[in-house]
Amino acid sequence: MSRNRFMIAAPKSGSGKTMITCGLLRAFLLRGKKVAAFKCGPDYIDPLFHETVVGAPSRNLDPFFTDGPMTRYLFGRHANSADLSVIEGVMGYYDGLGGTSDEASAYDLAQMTDTPVILVMDARGMSLSVLAELQGFLKFRQNSGIRGVIFNRMSKSMYQLLAPMVKETLGIRPLGYVPECPDCRLESRHLGLVLPDEVKDLSGRLDRLAAVLEETADLDGMLELAAEARELSAEMPAKLKQLLDSPQAENIRRTAPVIGVARDEAFQFIYADNLKLLEELGARICWFSPIRDRHLPEGIQGVLLCGGYPELYAGELSGNDSMKRELREALRQGMPCMAECGGYMYLSEEMEDMEGRVWPMVGAVPGNVFRTGKLGRFGYICLEALQEGVLGGGCGTLRGHEFHYFDSTDCGSAFHAQKPNRKRGWDCIHGTGTMMAGFPHLYYYACPELAVEFLEKCCEYGGTK
């Protein structure tokens, strides 16, 4: 596989990782490089920005969801055809499970994939002190993996003074600086950045940022650092190969069930690799819009309702009565469905929007969704089935995460969610033999058996129609 790779990480969120990552992606593309983009952790929005730049899906890599061999396989599968792979870190470099561990952090992923790290240091309001902060990150772990630094929001004159000290005192590469670029910033909202389609003149912003980085960053030095990364073994894990070659998977491929996947302004948060696994197992994906389409796609045998911003489009979703009615009736008749977060909110009886107005929704699961104004049940969870015979209940421990500013009067009780490294837990998910609907987001490669079971249910449902 192509070994050329590096990670862009930072001491904390808000340091400029995504802006700089996107600018670098654009700069290397303009140099004629074929670039593969990756995001560490359970993030949906940053990969959409990566995808806008590189013109191909950005992939998530998450050490909580997948072990070393699976993570390296997923990385290698998408990095193999690229000249350069760029991984964007998550939160602070060492921030992992429970806030007290570096497990599942950007550092953990860098170690797992043996990837050299470039740390983005937000230098606003600092001069020499930024080197003290950088030294702390270099020494916090014996092998930090940090090989270079980019200073964000720093002047040219200050960089010229500090760059020699970085090399001589700290022993890593100074790889440039980024001055204040107000017209290159990416705006945020309650779940993170706004979506790429909402950013005015995004392409122009990225071009301007790439031009700035060509002048102020050491792109050649970054390419040299990337080339120093060692090759990885990225073979398909035996367990996954066995599952893909199983009689169940062969039967799914023969049937080739069509899965309706919601995608529009309200529903955009789905892992690209989730769809990839479904397609590898033989499913055919059919997109539809709960906002604009008046009917479900003809001939589908299952439906996926992913997360997104349904609260911003509650009026449009509520007003599409024919779609709500058809979906409610299809689920009543047993069409398999997995609905996560925003998709689950859409299936509820009522949903409050951002202005406090309440709208009727599909009514396929009990409960009224309301805005809390704060982040609830944030982070990774392990899920254990509490009810027999529910979809996913026989797959063992499922791993997922929650991230939402809304809640429901009835979150379900088919599974119990437990925070890793914490005592906190709660019941969640409305489950039947053909449905999982709740706030948790799932990554299918963490438990490929769930994808197989879902598609088997879709094949069974299709056989009854």
Residues carrying an active site annotation: 341
**Main-chain phi, psi angles of 367, to 5 degrees:** 115, 150
Sort 426 into a burial class: Cβ within 10 Å, 0-12 / 13-18 / 19+: middle
Give the length of the chain. 465
Q: What distance in Å separates the CA atoms of residue 105 and residue 62, rounded to the nearest whole number?
A: 8
Please, how many CA atoms are within 13 Å of residue 53, restricted to the half-sphere of its CB?
30
Q: Give me the amino acid identity at 316.
A: E
Distances (CA, A) of 201 to 183, 186, 193, 210: 10, 11, 15, 14
Q: What distance in Å separates the CA atoms of residue 34 and residue 4, rounded to the nearest whole number?
A: 11
Bridge partners, 259 (sequence order): 285, 302
Q: What distance in Å separates the CA atoms of residue 16 and residue 121, rounded to the nearest whole number?
A: 9
8 Å CB contact between 391 and 414: no
Closest of 24, 33, 84 to residue 214, by C-alpha:
24
Distances (CA, A) of 104 to 63, 111, 116, 120: 5, 11, 17, 19
Q: What are the tokens at 51?
A: 């995808």
Residue 447 gets the label, from left (phi > 0), alpha (psi -120 to 50) or beta, of beta
Residues with Cβ < 8 Å from 211, sequence gap 6 or more?
A: none
Please, how many CA atoms are within 13 Å of residue 112, restricted to the half-sphere of its CB?
27
204-216: buried (b, 16+ CB within 10 Å) or exposed (e) per residue? ebbbbbbebbeeb
